[in-house]
């Protein structure tokens, strides 16, 4: 029996599941980006699901082949295991990015609430793209959700 909704499915299905999730229900988020600037925003039920996905699935999205993945997986487990206990943090983000370079990087991770409250860096850029920077409270939340749904093909 699968523990997560993406387990046991073909990667193309898996890649769409996490992107199309509603961040109000799956509020742990992560954005990865390739060297070409392509960004993928995904949502997970918990930090544990996020770390499992980042270890087992996300490297394949960015072209990491089986041999490379087998070589890097033990390091990813070492980097992400503490995240399961203490949560997403900058030290783990930098260590993870070092492991998966040059294939891709994590540009942001955290909760949907943290994303809504962010004033700097990548979250601020996303809020600007969504035309939600000047909004507050429920208006900001709804504008960002609408933007994410349109971006993922849900809305």
pLDDT of the residue at 2: 59
The structure tokens listed for 137 are: 């409270």
**Helix 66-86, helix 47-56: angle, nearest 10:** 170
d(CA 115, CA 70): 32
d(CA 153, CA 111): 21
d(CA 104, CA 101): 6
**pLDDT, tens digit, for every residue of 64-120?**
998 999 999 999 999 999 999 999 999 999 999 999 999 999 999 999 999 999 777
d(CA 88, CA 123): 15
Is residue 62 pLDDT above 90, yes or no? yes
Is residue 1 pLDDT above 50, yes or no? no
**Whole-number percent of the chain with pLDDT over 90:** 83
Instruction: Report yes or no: 28 and 49 within 8 Å, Cβ to Cβ.
Output: yes
Domains of the chain by residue range: 11-111
d(CA 129, CA 122): 11
pTM for this structure?
0.91
């Amino acid at each position: 029996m699968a523990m997560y909704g993406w387990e046991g499915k073909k990667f193309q299905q898996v890649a769409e599941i996490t992107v199309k999730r509603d961040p109000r229900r799956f509020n742990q988020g992560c954005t990865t980006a390739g060297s070409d600037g392509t960004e993928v925003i995904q949502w997970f039920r918990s930090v544990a699901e996020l770390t499992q996905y980042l270890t087992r699935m996300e490297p394949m999205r960015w072209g990491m082949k089986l041999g490379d993945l087998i070589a890097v997986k033990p390091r990813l487990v070492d980097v992400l295991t503490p995240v399961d206990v203490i949560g997403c943090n900058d030290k783990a983000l930098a260590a993870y990015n070092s492991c998966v370079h040059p294939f891709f990087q994590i540009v942001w991770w955290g909760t949907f609430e943290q994303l809504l409250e962010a004033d700097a860096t990548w979250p601020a850029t996303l809020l600007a793209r969504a035309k939600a920077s000047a909004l507050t409270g429920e208006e900001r939340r709804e504008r960002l959700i609408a933007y994410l749904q349109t971006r993922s093909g849900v809305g």
